[in-house]
Amino acid sequence: MIIVENLSIRLGELEIVRGLSFTLAPGEVLGLVGESGSGKSMTALAVLGLLPPGMRASGSIRFEGQDLLRLSERELRAVRGRRIGMVFQEPMTALNPVMTIGAQIAEGVIRHGLADAAGASKRALRLIARVGLPDPAARLHAYPHELSGGQRQRALIALAIACRPALLVADEPTSALDVTVQAELLALLREIRDETGMAMLFITHDLAVVSRLADRTLVLYGGRAMETGATRALLAAPRHPYTHGLLAAIPRGNAHANPLRPMPGQVPELDRLPPGCPFFGRCPKGDALCRDVPPPPVPGASIAWCHRPEAAP
């Protein structure tokens, strides 16, 4: 349904994303996981055609028969919001503060020619109820500032799915929320996926969230793919030392009983990466080959871009 091939994103000399490829089938959730500087958010923006000025994407993003990277802004606007929905971490910046929730949901539906004003308003009411906002008829006329953070994120989800998109791009949609609200919203997104069969590109730094939602996972580091595969398999037996390190960094139990062994060093700056694997320098297995030569994808239970991948257990 979406086929991303050899996607690179540059800002001048700086390569923010290099040679990324992935696919999504209808109804499938792909978790894009990484720390700061991994390129995960820029990848999401490239799919939406919303890269910041100065950034250039190359490669191809094929979606419903067209290459999104070759569309004009006008053509992209017909896709964005209609066939591809989006949810971001901070709903306050994505919602219009001077428009009611109902009007914002209806606006997109009308703009994309899916219903007239009355039909759009009815659809807005149904969606507000669907995403679990209390007293939907009243929320239709509420402004964003009248809602709590969790409610705003629900409203944003209603807005994102209003035109029944085939793909939802969600960038850390629950990361700023309390854990109890976060758990509810993840369940909501799962339900909507099951009901509508939309695919989801879910961007997060949190492996626990990925384990609950994503069918497949792609781990990024320093703008490059480290490992990809079925989420269960990848988390049960990571083959890339970076995936392994990420899992080992999650606290389990108490320090006395289960001390963490964090990976050393800092998250790298993109202009200081070695020519080979970006994880070289922090990797316990790194050697001269890793430093100098970009690792090829090594197939197995998952695909790992690593010269020294773990063998299957």
Work out which of 67, 75, 146, 178 binds other proteins, going by CB under 8 A: 178
**Residue 53: what residue type?**
P
Count the site residues for other proteins by CB under 8 A.
Answer: 38
Does 241 bind other proteins (CB under 8 A)? Our answer is: no
Quick one: how many helices (H) and strands (E) in the chain? 12, 12
**Residue 291: what residue type?**
R
Measured from the CB atom, the residue of 74 and 261 that comes closer to other proteins is 261
Measured from the CB of residue 111, what is the shortest distance to other proteins in angstroms?
A: 35
Measured from the CB of residue 198, what is the shortest distance to other proteins in angstroms?
A: 22
Does 98 bind other proteins (CB under 8 A)? Our answer is: no
Does 250 bind other proteins (CB under 8 A)? Our answer is: yes
Whether the Cβ atoms of residue 90 and residue 156 lie closer than 8 Å to each other:
no
Measured from the CB of residue 263, what is the shortest distance to other proteins in angstroms?
A: 5
Measured from the CB of residue 262, what is the shortest distance to other proteins in angstroms?
A: 3
Instruction: Enumerate residues 273-302 that contact other proteins by CB under 8 A.
Output: 282
Whether the Cβ atoms of residue 31 and residue 202 lie closer than 8 Å to each other:
yes
Percentage helix, strand, coil for the chain under 3-state DSSP, each rounded to 5: 35, 25, 40
Measured from the CB of residue 36, what is the shortest distance to other proteins in angstroms?
A: 6
Contact flags string 196-235 toward other proteins, x per CB under 8 A? ---------xxxxx-xx-------------------x--x
Work out which of 12, 53, 97, 254 binds other proteins, going by CB under 8 A: 254
- Which of 212, 205, 217, 207 has the alpha carbon at shortest distance from 189? 212
Write the DSSP string, 49-116: T-PPTTEEEEEEEEETTEEGGGS-HHHHHHHBTTTEEEE-S-HHHHS-TTS-HHHHHHHHHHHTTSS-
Does 249 bind other proteins (CB under 8 A)? Our answer is: yes
Does 312 bind other proteins (CB under 8 A)? Our answer is: no
- Contact range with other proteins by CB under 8 A, out of 49-57, 174-182, 191-199, 283-291: 174-182
Does 5 bind other proteins (CB under 8 A)? Our answer is: no
Work out which of 25, 117, 236, 289 binds other proteins, going by CB under 8 A: 236
CB atoms within 10 A of CB 260: 10
What are the distances in angstroms from CA 222 to CA 15, 23, 186, 270, 300? Answer: 9, 20, 27, 6, 23
Work out which of 26, 197, 259, 299 binds other proteins, going by CB under 8 A: 259
277 burial type by CB count under 10 A (0-12 exposed, 13-18 middle, 19+ buried)? buried
Strands 224-230 and 216-221: antiparallel
| Residues lying near other proteins in the complex (CB under 8 A) | 35-36, 149, 178-180, 182-183, 205-209, 211-212, 232, 235-236, 245-255, 258-260, 262-264, 266-267, 282
